Amino acid sequence: MYNNSNCLIALSLLALFISEPEQVHAYKREQITFKTVSKMASEIASKELPAPKPDLPRNLEDIDYDSYRSIRFRPSQALWWNEPSKFRVEFFHMGKLYNRSVNINEITDTHHQKIPFMQENFNYEKSTYKPNFFSKPRGYAGIRVLYPLHKSDIYDEVLVFLGASYFRALGATQVWGLSGRALTQNTINGRERFPFFREFWLKKPDLDSNQLTILALLHGENVSGAYEFTLSPGETTTIDVLAQIYFWKGAGSRAGFAPLTSMFYFGENTIDKPADWRPEVHDSDGLLIHESNSWIWRPLSNPAQPVVNQFKVKELHGFGLMQRDRLFKNYEDLEAEYHHRPSAWVTPGEVWPEGSVILYTFPTTNEIVDNVNAFWTPEQAPASKKPYRIQYTVEMRKTDPESDLARILDTHIGSKTLEEETTSFVIDIERISQGSAINISSYTVDFEASGATVITTPRIIFNEPENCFRVLIDLKSPKIEDSSKLNGFDLALKLKKDAKPYSETWSYTWTP
């Protein structure tokens, strides 16, 4: 007897296989530009479209982290692998935390082609995940860009987009550390939101080009945007960013621009260090700000409770999370190589309006959690559904940007010997005039304690073993029953020579 239900099931399964959209994708004669993606973002905003929901198959959601990492992309399947291009692009599999599929396209000046997801591009042998037709992801999770940083025949990772709007980049001799993001939302105001890139367009570079252009469409809760990233790998890898963003329902007032995310577990300024054999563990050790004619150095810390520092800026020339300490002996970690972690320096590509650089840190009990966030916010929030355009450059550096002022080198904090109620601050400052004799009497210190009791005024001595200046300050440690009720004291210090600024400004929030 003929079974109609079985026939329908068979036909339905056949239709699924035949109509599977990623089997054939024509190379369309269509130009995709930043303007094109901006129009897409504008349409999302005008219709207030909700962001697509996660679409991860259950068996990819349940696999453990090691098993997910064991899913390997086959290098021979990389985009532009069989062409004499300086760039190659590999793709990330969906799984675990990466639960949104991302559409990826290749474009030229005249054509456009979608890159389909293909299981054949991956090696699953060492993973517990076993692919099948019904559990196959709808797309990739992100992209990895490779470029010959060190040798012409070896392609190194230089840029990764994976998860929300996060991206990481490397210059020569650097190892993975801090991350950038396209945008932050509600980072310090309640429930943080994570807008994400839902689609990328990779512009095929000329064969001799040292630059790669990537377009991206951002979508989140009450926000959409178009981004253009121009990658220039090198000793210092640079990423030029152009963005046009649309907010609605007041989301612009809670946004942070050019955000950086890093980790600070403990360092030289940590009083109660964990039981760890290493002297210091951090991806970044300070926030550096260049505003008008001044430079501010804010050493990072692992606070007992969340701390927000706001630095108002009228004319911002740049800011960044820096790994200033490059001495291996201060980390002693041959595997993590914290002394090779990159610093990220953000330079406005145009004059930004008045605003603030925000530093938000929260406690962590390990080195896995990124507990440091820095970003810029304008004083006047972007208007609803109006295009907010912003340009800037992110440099992945091993050195600080050039400055005529002496740098803050070290910050040590601890109880004074035999005086438990006294906290000593020891700040080492760079010596910039190496050839001249040291006359300590020509140097003075400007110091602000914001209400903290100063026991001894700042004293300047020359630290001969390390060829730098040292400033010592003693403050009274207040006794409080509940430390959470104390917001901390904002301290600031600047070294002067002959009444003129000699060093950048040391800024610190002290919570006894």
Secondary structure of 294-344 in HEC code, one letter for each residue: EEEEEECCCCCCCEEEEEEECCEEEEEEECCCCCHHHCCCCCCCHHHCCEE
CB-based contacts of 201, cutoff 8 Å, min separation 6: 32, 37, 105, 106, 107, 112, 214, 215, 216
CB atoms within 10 A of CB 483: 12
Question: How far, in Å, CA of 4 to CA of 147, rounded?
Answer: 56
Residue pair 470/483 in contact by the 8 Å Cβ criterion: no
pLDDT at 116 over 80: yes
pLDDT at 487 over 80: no
**If pLDDT is split at 50, 70 and 90, which confidence band does 480 have?**
low
Structure tokens at 250: 């007041």
| pLDDT over 70, % of the chain | 93
Residue pair 88/80 in contact by the 8 Å Cβ criterion: yes
Which H or E run includes 40? Answer: helix 34-47
What is the predicted pLDDT for the residue at 25? 54
**In the chain, what are the helix, strand and coil shares in percent, each to the nearest 5?**
15, 45, 45
pLDDT at 387 over 70: yes
Give the pTM: 0.92
Q: What is the residue-averaged pLDDT of the chain?
A: 92
Mean pLDDT across 29-55: 96
CB atoms within 10 A of CB 169: 26
What is the predicted pLDDT for the residue at 488? 85
pLDDT at 294 over 70: yes
What is the predicted pLDDT for the residue at 483? 53
What is the predicted pLDDT for the residue at 402? 96
pLDDT at 26 over 80: no
Question: How far, in Å, CA of 163 to CA of 142, rounded?
Answer: 7
Mean pLDDT across 332-339: 98
**If pLDDT is split at 50, 70 and 90, which confidence band does 11 have?**
very low
Residue 463 main-chain phi, psi, to 5 deg: -85, 90
**If pLDDT is split at 50, 70 and 90, which confidence band does 512 have?**
confident
Query: Residue 463 to residues 49, 68, 250, 412, 474: CA-CA distances in angstroms?
Result: 61, 51, 52, 14, 18
List, for residues 398-415, the tens digit of each pLDDT value.
999 999 999 999 999 998
Nearest to 398 by CA among 296, 323, 465: 323
Question: How far, in Å, CA of 204 to CA of 105, rounded?
Answer: 10
Question: How far, in Å, CA of 280 to CA of 70, rounded?
Answer: 30
Question: How far, in Å, CA of 331 to CA of 282, rounded?
Answer: 9
**If pLDDT is split at 50, 70 and 90, which confidence band does 185 have?**
very high
What is the predicted pLDDT for the residue at 20? 38
Q: What is the DSSP letter of 93?
A: P
pLDDT at 142 over 90: yes
| Burial class of residue 180 (count of CB atoms within 10 Å of its CB; 0-12, 13-18, 19+) | buried
Q: Which of 20-29, 188-197, 311-320, 321-330 has the lowest mean pLDDT?
A: 20-29
**If pLDDT is split at 50, 70 and 90, which confidence band does 22 have?**
very low
